[in-house]
Amino acid sequence: MSFVSKCTADVILRAAKALKDGHLVTFPTETVYGLGADASSSEAVARIYAVKGRPADHPLIVHIASMHDMDKWAINIPEYAIKLAREFWPGPMTLVLKRSELAKDFITGGQDTVGVRVPNHPIALALLEEFQKLGGHGVAAPSANRFGAVSPTTAEAVHDELSDYLGDEDLILDGGNSQVGVESTIIDCTGANPSVLRFGAITEEMIKVASELSLMGSALKNEIRVSGALESHYAPKAIVSLDVIPKAGEGYIAMNHLISPAGVIRLASPSTTEEFAHVLYSSFREADRAGISRIVVQQPVGPGLAEAIRDRLRKASAANNFH
């Protein structure tokens, strides 16, 4: 495995070729880092599952260079999905659409839908464009963490998570800190109205305005297999407790107007919800590195991105039951 910290045009070309040859390339996006493979190759995609340690029937998001590539992967695309794509791509949004012939069972987990996204990061976009020039159609990429663990928001975190599992020809591309810090909003676009499957930085309010439609009741509890919808997920090694008072020696994440009780290890003091999302996963990792046994988080209030953060926190704290 090579770790590349300066992603020049040459490096991007080498990475695109590696993908085309069936190797894995982890790359930065604005949400979290992705573990990429050629989405048309069952062998390459099988390696994603092996490296992640993820059950093979979980669907993967196909990353494409532009919304114009949507109809390669999807059919019967509703007008509102086009509006959402125009408004929010490149950006932290995944659209779930009826799959085309190209989206095989090894991508969709056997479902008749496919998730597609145009990420908003210069390195990701350059890689996707170069891959396309080489004849590629799309890059399947889950978050670049082991199954159930916290998504990486830096290349170093990717290295810590996956270096033991990646092969000689695989690459880790460094593109700095992921700006958003939580995974994309997933929107089911197979019904008459959009429906949110996973909360993220594209909020329900933004979706309503851009689609000019009301949202179908949250489908978070429905039958669709969204691995992020499993109760225990996004979890650090430390126990995560919500909205309690931390004790000395414990980690603490809270908005900056909240003071730390004596002896508490302050992991983050964000001043906005955006900053909260941006620092959350790296704070979890910092706590694990420091060997902290419990992280207390004072949850952010309000709608939108705060809701996405609370969703991830609920799942991180649900993992306590398994400790």
Residue 226 binding ligand TXA, by CB under 6 A: yes
Asked whether position 111 contacts ligand TXA by CB under 6 A, the answer is: yes
Window contacting Mg ion (CB under 5 A); options: 122-130, 139-147, 163-171, 246-254: 139-147
Candidates 33, 94, 49; CA nearest to 281 is: 33
| Cα diameter, the chain | 60
Question: For residue 74, what are the β-bridge partners?
Answer: 99
Residue 119 binding ligand TXA, by CB under 6 A: yes
Residues between 264 and 303 that touch ligand TXA (CB under 6 A): none
In whole angstroms, what is the distance from residue 65 CA to residue 120 CA? Answer: 10
Within 13 Å and on the Cβ side, how many CA atoms surround 83?
14
Q: Are 15 and 135 in contact (CB under 8 A)?
A: no
Inter-axis angle of helices 155-162 and 273-289, nearest 10: 40
Indicate the residue among 52 and 159 with the shorter CB distance to Mg ion: 52
By CB under 6 A, the residues from 165 to 204 that bind ligand TXA are: 183-184, 186, 197
CA–CA separation, 231 and 73 (whole Å)? 29
Residue 108 lies near ligand TXA (rule: CB under 6 A):
yes
The closest alpha carbon to 190, from 80, 288, 284, belongs to 80
If one asks whether residue 152 binds ligand TXA (CB under 6 A), the answer comes out as no
If binding is defined by CB under 5 A, does position 143 make contact with Mg ion?
yes
Closest CA to 126 of 74, 173, 158: 173
Q: Is 310 in the site for ligand TXA (CB under 6 A)?
A: no
Q: Does 141 sit near ligand TXA (CB under 6 A)?
A: yes
Please report whether residue 60 would count as binding ligand TXA according to CB under 6 A.
yes
227 lines the binding site for ligand TXA (CB under 6 A)? yes
How many beta carbons lie within 10 A of that of residue 265, not counting itself? Answer: 16
Residue 96 in the binding site for ligand TXA (CB under 6 A):
yes
* CA geometry: angle 36, 219, 105, nearest 5 deg: 40
Binding mask 273-302 for Mg ion (x = CB under 5 A): ------------------------------
Residues that bind ligand TXA (CB under 6 A): 29, 31-32, 34, 58-61, 94, 96, 108, 111, 113-115, 117, 119, 141-143, 183-184, 186, 197, 224-228
Residues that bind Mg ion (CB under 5 A): 143
